[in-house]
Structure 1
Amino acid sequence: MCGIIACRTHRPASEYLRIGLRRLEYRGYDSVGVALQAVGGDVLRLRTIGRINSLETLLGQCAETEFTGAGIGHTRWATHGSVTEDNAHPHADCTGEISVVHNGIIENAASLRAELACAGHSFATPVDSEVLCHLIEDERLGGGDLVDAVHKALSRVQGSWAIAVLEEGTGRIAVAAKGSPLLVAHTDQGDFAASDIAAIADWIDEFRVLEDGDVVELTNTQRWCHAGVVVSPPMASRCDWRSEDVELHDYTDYMAKEIDEQPHVAARVLDGLIGGVANGRLWNDLGLPAFGRLQVIGCGTSLNAGNVIANLVRSLGALPVTTVVASEAAAQVPDPDQLCLAVSQSGETADVLRAMESSAVDGSYVLALTNNSHSTLARLADAVIECSAGPEIGVAASKTFVCQVISGSALMISALVAMNRLSAGAATRLVDDLRRVPDQLAAASTVARGAIPPIVDEFVDADGFIFIGRGSGLPYAAEGALKLKELTYRWAECCPAGELKHGPLALVGPGTPIVVVDSGEPKLACNVAEVASRGGRIVTLGPAGSSVPVVDNVSAPWGPIGATVPLQVLARSLALTLGRDVDKPRNLAKSVTVE
């Protein structure tokens, strides 16, 4: 959730850090800071609980200071310790010679803090990350080498980390990772490290990803160590992300841009996958064995996409499927002959990664569905299917959800063909239906622009909303409720329409907004009548005749995907009316790397 950037460059590091930190804003943060080496060797730390603009102001006040190319920067999403300037990164040791930025959680921070305090260390904050500074300080006593000191200090730590350590005087920078993403790159402009490629993509052509236990010094030779032993660096990967991919152009916010991109990215995803669906090749190329049941693990929007895919596997393949909230996966008992589909947009979702270590997947093959083929999840999995949505800056997912649904559906159709659970002829007809999805999304966007604004005007004072659906429509209703609560900060409950009479109906009174995702389930009309008779204000998203007619194929096994766009537009439009920041909702982050 936090963001890291570090550099040793030929020009002042401040020039790179201020750009890189802006590229990390989309991940969500509540404070930001940098540590910069001045030409004289001293390190200056600047921290603020404001946005990047506040940091720019602080840097402007240091205009007379001449900086070298050594610096580290951080955007923090608070876990240990409240949101204060003191608690913001970078943190320092007792001497001020070591500055550290850290993503992750130090699980044994309390015991280490007590031990270090008894040894004479003085702590400035309750933040777990500060412990790392003092551990490294101890290991450097007597002139110890920085890289060795970082390795030895981390050997005492339990938890997860991606860290960058700046040494005062020398300007040396060491970085290390375990259970949290970090990558490094050597360029003509210098050497960089970042937790997210977006931070440094403007300056690099290729990068290398740290494995758990790696410690690397940022130099042109990139001294690479693992478990205290110098090793050869891993193979480099190409960087295909450029700043123009994330420019707003004529849009006022990223969410509007990314909603509008959905027809295009859906077409691009299908172009890359469709040739291997009806013949089973898409599945066969993964090298995974046939499976007798499917377990889907995810969180939030990714779990909603996983439920869409789960419904498809049940309806087309008659296979048993379970869906599991990743943070509860440890309580699951693995089924024999099970494939685990782990869904995470970033591939760094801590709850999903911990689920991969739990008994829920013991003995199972793991297939990762992610937007990042270089992520930790992708490296842990036996096979990877990319949703290929491209960069998504808005914290609340939009196009990544659609791309997860499309790529996951295409792959599972291919798997069912390969396992002789679906005929090639039936799959060919489904492929034809999939090809129409981009046009359906474009049409839904046009309808939404006309139908949603009057609904927003009517609901602007509503305290809360109920979203309902049945069958294949239910995951879309859940996603609509999630989007609305994320962006508007109003409560929104989703429940199966048939469950209304078992409790949620008590919430319905005159004027209560009821958003119905209609997937053609015949019993849905009776449930709608139940809320209408109690005075609920009904808005239906479905086929012709609905309040928002956006579904033209109610029999599609991937459900009423056309409803996605107006649900997103409803949440965004209401949020803007309420004065919310739709790109950076409060308390939320794009890549959730803490449990």
Structure 2
Amino acid sequence: MCGIVACSGESPVAPLLVEALERLEYRGYDSAGIAVPAVDGHVEALRSIERVDDLGRRAAGWAPAVSATTGLGHTRWATHGEVSVVNAHPHRDCSGRVAVVHNGVLEDVTELRRALTDAGHMIVSHTDSELIAHLIEEAMSEDTDLAGAVERVVGGLRGSWALVVLDARTDELVATCHGSPLVVAEGPEGVFAASDIGAIAPWVEWYHVLDDGDVVRLRAGLPWHRGGVPVAPPPAVACSVGVADLSLGLYPDFMAKEIEQQPDVAERLITTWSGSILHGLWPSFSLPVPRHVTVVGCGTSLNAGRVVADLLARLGSIPFAAVEASELTSTATVPGSLALVLSQSGETADVLTALDVLHGRGHAVVALTNNPHSALARRAEAVMMCHAGPEIGVAATKTFVAQVLGGTCVVLSLLGCSGAVEQQRAQRLVRDLDRVPDALAQAIGASRRTIPQVLEGLTKASGYVFLGRGPGRIYADEGALKLKELTYRWAESHAAGELKHGPLALVEHGTPVIVVDDGSARMHATIAEVSARGAEITSIGGHGTSVPALGSPLAVALDTTVDWLGPLASVVALQIIARELAVALGRDVDKPRNLAKSVTVE
């Protein structure tokens, strides 16, 4: 949620800021703005509660932007204060000298607002972020050095922040963070700061990740401070995000592109890790073999973690519990349990709070993430990288598959290296992974052929029931989540055996029931039960089902099935159903309402 960009260069900065904000739209926002220094030493700001393209159109004719070569921009997700222009970033101090963009949430808002008001400050918005601008104004009345003032102010804050501050009198920019991500970089176009490297990727080859408490001046050489003392910047990281990753190409939307990328993602991940699964992956973690696993995550990441832990339980008889990150504080955990913590961005606020709780209880943490430089990756005892590449669509697709497969590699390594699974069998399981990319490709083809035929029966419904059993239950849960995210319609997921215990009351003539069909007699009995009550069945399974994503006769002949892994390929069909239905309903599948890609506030 929320996006930051700042730049100091030689050419007009406004077009760069707007272009960078466009690349941050996927994170989710409800207002946007930019600010630049005017010739009189005051900040000029342009803000909008429309999309970034509206901001861009207005910026093109905005007089202050003609000569300004330094500035900052922001996309805001409302937390403190409603969606309005006055609450949009950037925020200014009373003098108009200082502008601030801020990601995160302050905890001591009431006390700060009261103290600043008592001191005579005119606070015009309802945000917590504006308070920081006034605090810096006070600090600069005692110390004209912007970096020193910023460091003094953040030392007294409570909460989380990624912060860039502009001094309009000196054209100076200063960046700092605590509990919220921020990167800085130099390139031919200038010196940049951003909350996401994707925002500035076309202009830089290397970047640095700020640690909590770092204060950086955005000028040549990136002068770096920590605790008031100059320090060397952390090692530079190569920017792996390419222009092709950030463009649609021939696809109608990023979700369609990312669904199609899943076989390639699977192949890349398996190729990367397969050689080390039985030769060092688990030993490299330096962790004991767990007797119990606690899975922690949010949304799709939690579902991926449940798939991984279920696999560990089936292959290794190691029990697990799955806990929503937001509920961990009030949930008891098994002493000594290994924590498997999942977050695609590695910056999810609820997950990072849960991480503190887990460490406080003495749990070792294995992180599954797509971001090796994230707060989660830096703080976990061990990290499994998922190698999904950038994912722009808000609804996770390829990152789910990458987390499941990354976790599967960890499971096979744990069981094989510990001797819990006999070596010959472990080797066979590892070889089986080579078939997964083809299985996913087959599922995409089968889904594209068959889903248009079942779509008409789904578009008129106001609610949907998803059913699964065994490993398929988790995929049914993920399918229901995707449909809710994209269509804004109700969807409930249940274990097939639970129908008689309440959910069957939902089923009437025409009710869409989407089944992850494992081909068992019990599941076919359940299908018959809901069919008898007039339900419209869409089954996802093997040959003869509505969507044969789990294997056609050709797939069986080509040996692309991996039965022990569970119905992984069913998620492809579930993603395509949700997307196609949302498109038919006129939804924006890349930017579902009220949702954000990176949930950095609790």
Whether the 8 Å CA contact 1:4–1:103 is kept in 2: the answer is yes
Equivalent residues in 2 for 1:399-548, closer than 5 Å: 399-548=398-547
List structure 1 runs of 4+ shifted beyond 6 angstroms. Answer: none
Shift of 1:359: 4.5
Read off the aligned partner of 2:6 and give its amino acid letter: A
Residue 571 (structure 2) pairs with residue 564 (structure 1): yes
Whether the 8 Å CA contact 2:8–2:219 is kept in 1: the answer is yes
Instruction: Give the match's secondary structure for 2:471.
Output: helix
| In structure 1, C-alpha distance between the alignment counterparts of 2:234 and 2:396, rounded to whole Å | 32
Shift of 1:63: 5.1
The alpha-carbon distance between structure 1 residues 224 and 65, as it changes in their structure 2 partners (threshold 3 A), is closer
| In structure 1, C-alpha distance between the alignment counterparts of 2:337 and 2:438, rounded to whole Å | 35
| In structure 2, C-alpha distance between the alignment counterparts of 1:402 and 1:232, rounded to whole Å | 38
C-alpha RMSD over aligned residues: 1.6
Whether the 8 Å CA contact 1:100–1:163 is kept in 2: the answer is yes
Read off the aligned partner of 2:585 and give its amino acid letter: L
Instruction: Give the match's secondary structure for 1:319.
Output: coil
* % same residue: 50
Instruction: Give the match's secondary structure for 1:208.
Output: strand
Residue 184 of structure 1: aligned partner: 184
Whether the 8 Å CA contact 1:471–1:521 is kept in 2: the answer is no
Residue 362 (structure 2) pairs with residue 363 (structure 1): yes
Residue 72 of structure 2: aligned partner: 72
Read off the aligned partner of 1:593 and give its amino acid letter: T
Residue 555 of structure 2: aligned partner: none
| In structure 1, C-alpha distance between the alignment counterparts of 2:131 and 2:443, rounded to whole Å | 52
Q: Which moved more, 1:236-245 or 1:488-497?
A: 236-245
Whether the 8 Å CA contact 1:330–1:360 is kept in 2: the answer is no
Read off the aligned partner of 1:467 and give its amino acid letter: F
| In structure 2, C-alpha distance between the alignment counterparts of 1:377 and 1:343, rounded to whole Å | 9
Residue 84 of structure 1: aligned partner: 84
| In structure 1, C-alpha distance between the alignment counterparts of 2:10 and 2:384, rounded to whole Å | 39
The alpha-carbon distance between structure 1 residues 382 and 15, as it changes in their structure 2 partners (threshold 3 A), is same
Map Cα deviations across residues 467-491 of structure 1 (whole Å, 9 max, x no partner).
Answer: 1101100111111101101000010
Residue 207 of structure 1: aligned partner: 207
Question: How many residues of Structure 1 are paired with residues of Structure 2 in the alignment?
Answer: 594
Residue 147 (structure 2) pairs with residue 147 (structure 1): yes
Map Cα deviations across residues 397-449 of structure 1 (whole Å, 9 max, x no partner).
Answer: 11111111111111111111111111121122222321111111111111111
The alpha-carbon distance between structure 1 residues 432 and 456, as it changes in their structure 2 partners (threshold 3 A), is same
| In structure 1, C-alpha distance between the alignment counterparts of 2:273 and 2:137, rounded to whole Å | 52
Map Cα deviations across residues 479-516 of structure 1 (whole Å, 9 max, x no partner).
Answer: 11011010000101111111222221111111111101
Instruction: Give the match's secondary structure for 2:35.
Output: strand
Residue 373 of structure 2: aligned partner: 374
| In structure 1, C-alpha distance between the alignment counterparts of 2:64 and 2:193, rounded to whole Å | 27
Whether the 8 Å CA contact 1:248–1:257 is kept in 2: the answer is yes
Q: Which moved more, 1:496-505 or 1:131-140?
A: 496-505
Residue 572 (structure 2) pairs with residue 573 (structure 1): no
Map Cα deviations across residues 189-214 of structure 1 (whole Å, 9 max, x no partner).
Answer: 32111110001111112111111112
The alpha-carbon distance between structure 1 residues 359 and 562, as it changes in their structure 2 partners (threshold 3 A), is closer
Whether the 8 Å CA contact 1:39–1:66 is kept in 2: the answer is no
Instruction: Give the match's secondary structure for 1:68.
Output: coil
Q: Which moved more, 1:361-370 or 1:331-340?
A: 331-340
| In structure 2, C-alpha distance between the alignment counterparts of 1:332 and 1:359, rounded to whole Å | 11
Residue 10 of structure 1: aligned partner: 10
The alpha-carbon distance between structure 1 residues 242 and 530, as it changes in their structure 2 partners (threshold 3 A), is same
Shift of 1:539: 1.1
The alpha-carbon distance between structure 1 residues 361 and 402, as it changes in their structure 2 partners (threshold 3 A), is farther
| In structure 1, C-alpha distance between the alignment counterparts of 2:455 and 2:181, rounded to whole Å | 40
Q: Which moved more, 1:218-227 or 1:370-379?
A: 218-227
Instruction: Give the match's secondary structure for 1:32.
Output: strand
| In structure 1, C-alpha distance between the alignment counterparts of 2:54 and 2:66, rounded to whole Å | 20
Instruction: Give the match's secondary structure for 2:577.
Output: helix
| In structure 2, C-alpha distance between the alignment counterparts of 1:554 and 1:269, rounded to whole Å | 18
Whether the 8 Å CA contact 2:100–2:133 is kept in 1: the answer is yes
Residue 591 of structure 1: aligned partner: 598
Map Cα deviations across residues 21-45 of structure 1 (whole Å, 9 max, x no partner).
Answer: 1111111111110011245544220
Whether the 8 Å CA contact 1:447–1:549 is kept in 2: the answer is yes
| In structure 2, C-alpha distance between the alignment counterparts of 1:223 and 1:362, rounded to whole Å | 38
The alpha-carbon distance between structure 1 residues 361 and 403, as it changes in their structure 2 partners (threshold 3 A), is farther
Instruction: Give the match's secondary structure for 2:405.
Output: helix
Residue 61 of structure 1: aligned partner: 61
Q: Which moved more, 1:428-437 or 1:152-161?
A: 428-437
Read off the aligned partner of 1:329 and give its amino acid letter: L
Residue 132 of structure 2: aligned partner: 132
Q: Structure 2 length as normaliser, TM-score?
A: 0.96
Residue 385 of structure 1: aligned partner: 384
Residue 554 of structure 2: aligned partner: none
Query: Which consecutive unaligned segments of at least 5 residues does structure 2 have?
Result: 552-559
Shift of 1:521: 4.7
Whether the 8 Å CA contact 1:332–1:360 is kept in 2: the answer is no
